[in-house]
Amino acid sequence: MDERKLLIKENLKKIMASLPDGVTLLGASKTVPAEYINFAADCGLKVIGENRVNELLSKYDDIDKEKLEIHFIGQLQTNKVKYIIDKVSLIHSVDSLRLAEEISRRAVAKGLLMPVLVEINIGGEESKGGILPEEAEAFIKKISLLEGIRVEGIMAIPPKCDEEHKNIEIYQKLSKIFIDIKAQNVDNVNMRILSVGMSGDWETAVEHGSNMVRIGSGIFGSRIYN
Ligand SMILES: *Cc1c(COP(=O)(O)O)cnc(C)c1O
């Protein structure tokens, strides 16, 4: 077996053994060829997430869709929604009303109900997309009125941080937003997914309530960009 496959198999075995029940493992598969994605599926991976529309489309036919659910986790341009609307089962990265409206429009046209997560800019970073924490509730209530989409939770990419204590506050803040909105039982909102945690921080994220971790290099090895 080639070395990368051995690595994927070992990585998945370790992660799946330490992931608590109820936490979904998503393999962040950007740059990873379909052959290795499908191998990961043979090893038990059930969900992958792609970041770029063009890359997703180029790999789509070769991905083993019997075994894998495909999510979209990257920044999504409004004009590309139409290409993925019937190919993914969850969009993690709704970060504007315009995008939500376009997903709604395209879903309705296809007769679909599209599950989405709202991306929260939990660190309030200017360089990152996402809804500011203080605006999350109002935003979710607003898009919950759109046809063809259903809010299923929130997603975030916490800022990189060396001071562990400060970062824990970030995870706590995120979990509080999730719990508070869930408690309100907003119509057409089913707050069930808190998507946070990547290769470097998933254990901390899970300790603080994450129930969907998106792991890329920790499964597939370091990314080779070309
Ligand atoms: C690439 C990516 C990940 C995974 O990152 P790793 O550090 O390789 O685990 C998770 N979420 C998003 C949105 C990503 O783009």
Residue 223: per-residue pLDDT: 85
Q: What is the pLDDT of residues 103-128, one digit of tens each?
A: 999 999 999 999 999 999 999 999 88
pLDDT, position 163? 64
**Residues framing ligand 1 (Cβ under 6 A):** 28, 30, 51, 73-74, 157, 198-200, 214-218
Residues of the chain with pLDDT under 50: none
Tokens of 14: 């370790």
With a CB cutoff of 8 Å and minimum separation 6, the contacts of 132 are: 120, 121, 124
Site to substitute for ligand 1 among 213, 214, 222, most atoms within 8 A of C-beta: 214
Q: Tell me the pTM.
A: 0.96
Residue 184 C-alpha to ligand 1 middle, in angstroms? 30
Domain map of the chain by residue range?
3-220
pLDDT at 89: 98
Contacts of 22 (CB under 8 A, 6+ apart): 211
User: How many CA atoms lie less than 13 Å away from 134 in the CB half-sphere?
Assistant: 1
6/8 Cα distance (integer angstroms): 6
How far away, in angstroms, is 198 Cα from ligand 1 center?
6
What atom of ligand 1 comes closest to residue 218's alpha carbon? 9
Q: State in Å: Cα 72 to ligand 1 middle.
A: 12
Give the model's pLDDT for residue 200.
Answer: 93
- Please state, in angstroms and rounded to a whole number, the distance separating the CA atoms of residues 224 and 226: 7
The CATH architecture that domain 3-220 belongs to is Alpha-Beta Barrel (3.20)
